[in-house]
Amino acid sequence: MNPRPFRSIALVLAAALAASCARDDSAVKIGSASPLTGSQAHIGIDIRNGVQLAIEDLNAVGTEIGGRKVTFRLIAEDDEANPTKATTVAQKLADAKVVAVVGHFNSGASIPASRIYSDAGIPQISPSSTNPKYTQQGFKTTFRVVAHDDQQGPTLGRFAIEKLKAKSIAVVDDSTAYGQGLADAFSATVKARGARIVAREHTTDKDTDFMAILTKIKGRRPDLVMFGGIDPQAGPMVKQLAELGIQARFIGGDGMQTPNFIKLAGAAAEGVMASIPGLPKEQMPGGNAFMAKYRAKFKAEVELFAPMGYDAVMVFVDAMKRAGSTEPAKFLPELGKTRYQGVIGPIAFDEKGDLKDGPITIYVVKGGKWEPLETVIPGAEKPTRPPMKKST
């Protein structure tokens, strides 16, 4: 057999390959994965727009990494908010040799996809997935720029001690993974800070009669009642608290920070406090500038997570700059050491890749509406007090 034709074909192929590489020589590919179709498309497109904005900003100013000018290119994929599709998309991005991925939106998509990114050695930052499990799988490549569900409890606890000056606290949960986790984390924090847990009660996520527990709590005279659970229980509980003449204040997590809670609790809802992870977007350090830029570019308002998507790209590039390389293996170790001042606030990661001190906003019911009361940056020296909207 004559080897010559084979050799020439190989030569041509190699040349073509070299040519294609030359064309994209400096373009570094960054992936974005979120639902771009379906019922959650508005949120997914919002994330993609944030990523796109970041890449355009980077290319406009001209970014140097390791003494070399670099341009970035966006590869946006649609995971349809579907865990199965998410893994397909993840593989596609890995095959496209992206150096980093911003995504996914849903925890249910981020978790299965994270294994594929981990195997490919591609760092991933989720702008929005809050399930604690996402970063607990032992992968070195998973990060997020949003506070997760287990960070709320300690923040609430700190708020209760520092701001509400609570000394004796009654804690109730609804016996679910979410409610009990939140209540336990809260209890541990307030105990460590010197408050007394005067009652630790449990109910279920189906009950609506809390008179017996609340009566017991009344006897212990707490100055604060904390509830880990969701609004169908929180509503009647607050109402029954008022009926029993308990003067204590009431605080809970994002499960009860809903308009429905106010409907269920009626007049008793007034003054109740609850937290949600993240800042209201008007109150992000770079929020207003970002929203103006976003509006000018996309002729639309920021939905939710575009600022997180934007910051995720910036955090990647920040790590690349410090590592002096766009190779994932080189800049991944730097990613963990991130100290970045983003649109959403300061960004740093703990050893698992969770956002350190992710901001959590505490809301209060005022005039039958949830109003932001203050934002707590866990671990920060002093909570920042955002400008309150005037309400009549």
Q: Of the two residues 231 and 254, which places its CB atom closer to another protein in the complex?
A: 231
Distance CA 54, CA 310 (A): 5
Asked if 202 touches another protein (CB under 8 A), the answer is: yes
CB of 132 to another protein, least distance (A): 23
Distance CA 344, CA 143 (A): 15
Interface region with another protein, contact rule CB under 8 A, candidates 127-135, 137-145, 187-195, 240-248: 240-248
Distance CA 354, CA 136 (A): 9
Per CB under 8 A, the list member of 245, 296, 367, 392 interacting with another protein is 245
CB of 370 to another protein, least distance (A): 16
Please report, for the chain, how many H helices and E strands are present, in that order: 12, 15
Distance CA 55, CA 158 (A): 37
In total, the chain counts a number of residues equal to 392
Distance CA 250, CA 262 (A): 13
For residue 16, give every residue at least 6 positions away whose Cβ sits within 8 Å of its Cβ, in sequence order, or none: none
Asked if 137 touches another protein (CB under 8 A), the answer is: no
CB of 331 to another protein, least distance (A): 47
Window 181-200: residues binding another protein (CB under 8 A) = 199-200
Pull the structure tokens for residue 156: 């609430």
Q: What are the distances in angstroms from CA 85 to CA 35, 53, 89, 246, 282?
A: 10, 25, 6, 51, 33
Q: Of the two residues 216 and 385, which places its CB atom closer to another protein in the complex?
A: 216
Q: Of the two residues 13 and 267, which places its CB atom closer to another protein in the complex?
A: 267
Q: Of the two residues 237 and 317, which places its CB atom closer to another protein in the complex?
A: 237
Window 264-283: residues binding another protein (CB under 8 A) = 264, 266-267
Per CB under 8 A, the list member of 42, 216, 297, 389 interacting with another protein is 216
CB of 292 to another protein, least distance (A): 38
CB of 107 to another protein, least distance (A): 23
CB of 269 to another protein, least distance (A): 11
Asked if 124 touches another protein (CB under 8 A), the answer is: no
CB of 255 to another protein, least distance (A): 13
Q: Of the two residues 91 and 180, which places its CB atom closer to another protein in the complex?
A: 180
Asked if 212 touches another protein (CB under 8 A), the answer is: yes
Q: Of the two residues 199 and 284, which places its CB atom closer to another protein in the complex?
A: 199
CB of 313 to another protein, least distance (A): 38
User: Within 10 A of 258 (CB to CB), how many other CB atoms are there?
Assistant: 18
Q: Of the two residues 264 and 279, which places its CB atom closer to another protein in the complex?
A: 264
Distance CA 355, CA 222 (A): 33
Q: Of the two residues 231 and 374, which places its CB atom closer to another protein in the complex?
A: 231
Distance CA 138, CA 182 (A): 23
Asked if 247 touches another protein (CB under 8 A), the answer is: no
Asked if 218 touches another protein (CB under 8 A), the answer is: yes
Note the helical H segments in the chain.
Answer: 4-23, 41-61, 83-95, 107-120, 149-162, 177-192, 211-220, 231-243, 259-265, 287-298, 306-323, 328-335
Distance CA 36, CA 105 (A): 10
Phi/psi at 59 (5° precision): -70, -30
Per CB under 8 A, the list member of 231, 354, 357, 374 interacting with another protein is 231
Site string for another protein, 161-180 (x = CB under 8 A): --------------x-----
Asked if 203 touches another protein (CB under 8 A), the answer is: yes
List the Cα angle 362/363/369 in 5-degree steps. 175
Q: What are the distances in angstroms from CA 149 to CA 146, 352, 362, 388?
A: 10, 14, 14, 26
Asked if 96 touches another protein (CB under 8 A), the answer is: no
User: Within 10 A of 56 (CB to CB), how many other CB atoms are there?
Assistant: 14
Interface region with another protein, contact rule CB under 8 A, candidates 19-27, 55-63, 241-249, 271-279: 241-249
Binding residues for another protein (CB under 8 A): 175, 199-204, 206-209, 211-213, 215-216, 218-219, 231-232, 235-236, 239, 243-245, 260, 263-264, 266-267
